[in-house]
Amino acid sequence: MFVSGLYMVNADISKADQYKLFQIHKAAGVVMLWTLFVRVCVRIFTYAPELPIEFSKSDKKKAKAGHILLYIAVVVMPLSGWLMVSASPFGLPTFVFVDWIKWPHIPGVARNKMIETIANNIHWITASILGFLIIGHIGAVIWHRNKHGVNLLDRMWWSKTKR
Amino acid sequence: MLETQLRFEGALKTRQQGNGDYSFYLSLLLLLMTAFIYTPSSFAQEKFSVSAKNSQVTFAGVHVGMQFSGVFDKWNADIVLPPAASPQILATFYVASAKTGDSTYDSTLPEGDWFDVENHPKSIFESSQIVAKDKDYAVTGTLTLRGISQPVAFLLKNNETTLTASFTIDRLAYNIGMESDPDAEWVNKEIKMTLTLQKQ
């Protein structure tokens, strides 16, 4: 999504390719939104493992804050994109890869240039922040592995080892 | 037709010489029959009605460098051509029936900024003058789309079974896509219209 987003906005490509890439990006965004919906449900309704005991109090706080920020960012991404598309002066529909799945626009914002601009800014600023958060997130996994010798991937993935 | 007649007369002569009276009358009968069959087409029909059932009105343009085209599925026209006393073409198009086959275009076209089908469900073409030109017809008139009337002119070509014409309209002259793309940066402003009308 990062690559396609940056490419379709900045790259020197033909209008046709740009248009097609936009439609793919929009469709993929809807899939992302649904995936996130499932993810948030899983997070709310199932058990999430505690943070490892090796962590200090401040580590735990930072980890919690980082995770909350990650959730906020990944939810804001598709929502701001959806808002931007809904408010776009082009008013183009969003089809999720096939003609028979038409994703609706958010009502009440059609052709609203101001809302589109705001949503556009939220979209790319959040994308930049999310980029750093992801780097931080992966960095933290590596750092804890080296410092505490814990494999944090175990608590992210389906794992048989009880923690 | 003249050729057929000549051929028949030729055949007539040989038969007269060969087989006598019987074949002469048969040939004469055949000649009369052919004359009868061919008569209607020698006077081109001047008055008829056409619709999407037997004829076609298409539009085509370019979006982001890609060709697109579509048809109107619902329209009808009454046509009176010269030499009839008061030649006229009156056509009504239901713009909601425009179909391109592309789901993105088809769901965008009816919208307020494009065809605005809610406020202007009908488009009307009314001729102001039709002049016979060789075997074709020079047509001038007014096309009303989205409530805006603009003059159009085209040559209606008179073919064997069809009348055809093609001409270009400027979508911006009708405020089509004025909000989305006023500078024709994405969708070209020239839209090519093609008519293929079945003569009855």
**Nearest-angstrom CA–CA distance, B19 and B12:** 10
Q: Is residue A163 part of a domain?
A: no
Q: Is residue A137 part of a domain?
A: yes
Lowest mean pLDDT among A37-51, B1-15, B113-127, B170-184: B1-15
- Give yes or no for B111 touching A (CB within 8 A): yes
Instruction: State the DSSP H helix or E strand holding residue A61, giving kind and residue range, or none if neither.
Output: helix A57-87
Domain membership of residue B130 as a residue range: 47-198
- Res B6 pLDDT > 60: no
Domain membership of residue A75 as a residue range: 2-156
- Give yes or no for B180 touching A (CB within 8 A): yes
- Give yes or no for A98 touching B (CB within 8 A): no
Q: Is residue A145 part of a domain?
A: yes
What pLDDT is recorded for position B21?
Answer: 67
Report the relative pairing of strands B162-170 and B190-198 from DSSP bridges: antiparallel
- Give yes or no for A111 touching B (CB within 8 A): yes
What mean pLDDT is predicted for residues B80-109?
A: 93
This model's pTM is above 0.90: no
**Nearest-angstrom CA–CA distance, B70 and A138:** 51
Residue with tokens 């790259």: A11
Q: Is residue A161 part of a domain?
A: no
Q: How many domains does chain B have?
A: 2
A81-137: pLDDT as tens digits: 999 999 998 889 999 999 899 999 999 998 899 999 999 999 999 999 999 999 999
Statement to judge: residues B114 and B167 lie in one domain = yes
Residue with tokens 């735990």: A60
Q: How many domains does chain A have?
A: 1
Lowest mean pLDDT among A152-161, B5-14, B42-51, B143-152: B5-14
Q: Which residue of B has its CA nearest to A17?
A: B64
Cα atoms in the Cβ-side hemisphere of radius 13 Å centred on B7: 7
The count of CB pairs under 8 A between chains A and B is: 36
CB contact under 8 A, B113 and A91: yes
Statement to judge: residues B131 and B187 lie in one domain = yes
Statement to judge: residues B27 and B73 lie in one domain = no
DSSP code per residue over B156-180:
EEE-SSEEEEEEEEEGGGGTTTTTT
Higher pLDDT, residue B120 or A156: B120
Statement to judge: residues B155 and B127 lie in one domain = yes
Statement to judge: residues B114 and B65 lie in one domain = yes
Statement to judge: residues B142 and B167 lie in one domain = yes
B139 Cβ contact partners less than 8 Å away, ≥ 6 residues apart: B89, B127, B129, B130, B153, B154, B155, B156, B165
CB contact under 8 A, B64 and A15: yes
The beta-carbon contacts of B11-18 under 8 Å, at least 24 apart in sequence, are: none
Per-residue tokens: B117: 């089908």
Statement to judge: residues B127 and B78 lie in one domain = yes
Task: Please determine, for the modelled complex, whether the ipTM score is greater than 0.85.
Answer: no
Statement to judge: residues B26 and B123 lie in one domain = no
Q: Which residue of A has its CA nearest to B112?
A: A91
B69-87: pLDDT as tens digits: 999 999 999 999 988 888 9
Mean pLDDT of chain A: 91
Statement to judge: residues B35 and B120 lie in one domain = no
B25-54: pLDDT as tens digits: 767 666 666 655 554 443 456 788 999 999
Statement to judge: residues B57 and B88 lie in one domain = yes
Closest CA to B45 of B148, B184, B162: B162
